[in-house]
Amino acid sequence: MYSGCCFVFALGYLTVCQITRVYIFDYGQYSADFSGPMMVITQKITGLAYEIHDGMFRKDEELTPSQRGLAVRRMPSLLEYISYTCNFMGILAGPLCSYKDYITFIEGKPAHMPQSGENGKEEVQYGRTEPSPNPAVVQKLIVCGLSLLFHLTISSLLPVEYNIDEHFQATASWPTKITYLYVSLLAARPKYYFAWTLADAINNAAGFGFRGYDRNGVARWDLVSNLRIQQIEMSTSFKMFLDNWNIQTALWLKRVCYERASFSPTIQTFILSAIWHGVYPGYYLTFLTGVLMTLSARAMRNNFRHYFIEPPQLKLFYDVITWVVTQIAISYTVVPFVLLSIKPSFMFYSSWCYCLHICGILVLLLLPVKKTPRGENPYEKAQLSRSKKFDERENYLGQNSFSTTNNICNQDQDLASRHPSLKQ
C-alpha cells in the first residue's frame, strides 16, 4: 500500500511539474529545465519504493525472480536515500539504475559476476579486479561527438514537420513519402544518442557501470547503458526496437507496472509511459498507437515466424522484410511524439489514411493471439538461482545482497551470449 501511495504521489507531482512547464512557460519548446531531473528522480523514488516493499513486506514465494533479485531487505538510511536519488552522475539525464547496483558501487564491493564453469554449471568468481573505464569512456565520447555532429549538420535538413507539408503531401509519391518518413525520423534520433551516451560515459568515468566480463574475457561497461545503437537501427521487430531504446526506462516500466498489472499489462505500461513523458497530446497518440503496433506485431511474429527459420536464405528474406516493416511502423508511430500537438499529428495520420492503424486492427481481429505468460522464460530460473546465492552470501555477511540489473531485462540475446549453458 505504501509503495502504491508513493507511486501515485510522485507521478502526480511530476505531472503537475509537466503541466506547469508546458502550459505556463514554454509550450512546444524543448528546453533543459527542472522537469528533466524530476522525471529521473520519479523513476528512482517509485522503483525503490517497490523494491523495499518486495523485500520487507512480501513473502519470497510471492515475488517473481526479477523482483526477488532486486528486493531491498532493510530500510535505507537518509544519506543512502538522498545519495541514490540525487547523485551527480545521473541527476540531469539519468540513466536510472537499481538501488542495489548503486549501493554496491558506493560501498566499493568487488564485482562478483556469475560465469559459466565446468559441466555447464554457473560459478561466482571472486577477487577479479575491476578494469579501467577509460577505453569505454573514450569510445562513448566518440559516439557522442559523431551523434552531435550529425544532429547539427544533417538533422536540420530533414525536419519531421515536412511530412505534413501540404505541397509535399500533394505532390510526393507513396515511395517518396515512405522514404522521407524513415529518413526524417532516423535523423531525429542522434540527439537522443548523444544525451544518453554522454550520461553513460559520465557514470563510467566515475567508475560506475561495470557489469563484469563476457566469456571472452572482455570487460563490459554497459550496466546502466540506455541504448544499443546497432540493434536499434537493425531491429527486425517492434519488441527488438523497444528492448534497445531507453533501456533503463523500459526496465523501470517493467518493474513498477508490467510485472504488477493484474490485467492488460501492455496497455497499462504504455499509458504509464505516456504519463511519465509529459502532457503533450502527441505523447499519448504515440503510445496508444504503440499498444496497437506491439500487439499486432506480436501476433504476426507468433503466427508466421516459425515458417521462415530454415533455410538460411528464407530467413534472410524474412529478416529483410521485417526490418523494412519495423522501421516504417516505428517511424509512423513516433511522428506525433515529435510533432507534440494533436492537430499536426492527425494531419499526418490522415495523410496516410490511418493505414497502419487499420492493418494493426485487422491483424488482431483475424489472427489468433497467443497470450504471453509473464515471467516464465527459461532464464528466470538462472536469475532465481543467482539471487539465492547472493542473498545467502550477503545475509551471512550482514549486508545487502548484490544484484545485476541486466539479468531482469528480458534481453535473451545478451544472456545467451554470456551464459552458453542457459541454452540447454
Q: Give the pLDDT confidence of 178-198 residue by residue, as tens digits.
A: 999 999 999 999 999 999 999
CA 275 to centroid of chain Cα atoms: 16
Q: For the chain, give percent helix, strand, coil, nearest 5.
A: 70, 5, 30
Cβ neighbours around 23 below 10 Å, total:
10
pLDDT of residue 196: 95
pLDDT of residue 134: 94
Nearest in space to 110 (alpha carbons), one of 122, 94, 137, 128:
128
CA 24 to centroid of chain Cα atoms: 30
Torsional sign, CA 78, 84, 89, 93: negative
pLDDT of residue 126: 46
Q: How confident is the model at residue 390 (pLDDT cuts 50, 70, 90)?
A: very low
Q: What is the mean pLDDT of residues 143-151?
A: 95
Q: Are strands 114-116 and 122-124 parallel, antiparallel or unpaired?
A: antiparallel
In the numeric block, the cell 492527425 is attached to 346
Which one of the listed residues 203, 226, 246, 406 is annotated catalytic?
Answer: 246
What is the rounded distance in angstroms from the CA atom of residue 143 to the CA atom of residue 133?
16
Q: What is the mean pLDDT of residues 215-234?
A: 92
What is the rounded distance in angstroms from the CA atom of residue 96 to the CA atom of residue 224?
7
Q: Please report which residue ranges of 206-341 form alpha helices under DSSP H.
A: 229-233, 238-244, 247-253, 265-277, 281-304, 312-339
Question: Which segment of 17-26, 39-48, 216-225, 253-262 scores lowest on mean pLDDT?
Answer: 17-26
What is the rounded distance in angstroms from the CA atom of residue 241 to the CA atom of residue 119?
35
246 is catalytic: yes
Q: Are strands 114-116 and 219-220 parallel, antiparallel or unpaired?
A: unpaired
Name every residue whose Cβ is closer than 8 Å to that of residue 225 and which is 6 or more positions away in sequence. 95, 196, 200, 209, 247
Q: Give the pLDDT confidence of 291-327 residue by residue, as tens digits.
A: 999 999 999 999 999 999 889 999 999 999 999 999 9
User: Beta partners for 116?
Assistant: 122
Which one of the listed residues 87, 277, 303, 377 is annotated catalytic?
Answer: 277
- The full 3-state SS of 131-147, as one line of letters, equals CCCHHHHHHHHHHHHHH
What is the rounded distance in angstroms from the CA atom of residue 317 to the CA atom of residue 303?
17
**Is-contact 68 387, C-beta < 8 A?**
yes
Interior angle at CA 4, CA 8 and CA 10, nearest 5? 30
151 is catalytic: no
Q: What is the mean pLDDT of residues 88-117?
A: 79
pLDDT of residue 1: 65
pLDDT of residue 271: 95
In the numeric block, the cell 566518440 is attached to 142
Report CA-CA distances (Å) from 235 to 261, 262, 313, 407: 27, 30, 18, 21
Residue 381 has pLDDT above 70, yes or no: no
Q: How confident is the model at residue 31 (pLDDT cuts 50, 70, 90)?
A: low
What is the rounded distance in angstroms from the CA atom of residue 383 to the CA atom of residue 380?
5
**Is-contact 245 225, C-beta < 8 A?**
no
pLDDT of residue 131: 87
What is the rounded distance in angstroms from the CA atom of residue 302 to the CA atom of residue 293?
14
pLDDT of residue 379: 35
**Is-contact 40 91, C-beta < 8 A?**
yes
Q: What is the pTM of this model?
A: 0.81
What is the rounded distance in angstroms from the CA atom of residue 93 to the CA atom of residue 199?
6
Residue 128 has pLDDT above 80, yes or no: no
Name every residue whose Cβ is closer than 8 Å to that of residue 162 and which is 6 or more positions away in sequence. 168, 180, 184
Q: What is the mean pLDDT of the chain?
A: 83
pLDDT-above-90 percentage for the chain: 65
Name every residue whose Cβ is closer than 8 Å to that of residue 367 and which is 6 or more positions away in sequence. 299, 300, 303
Q: Which of the given ranges, 112-116, 337-341, 406-410, has the highest pLDDT on average?
A: 337-341
280 Rama sector, left if φ>0, alpha if ψ -120 to 50, beta otherwise: beta
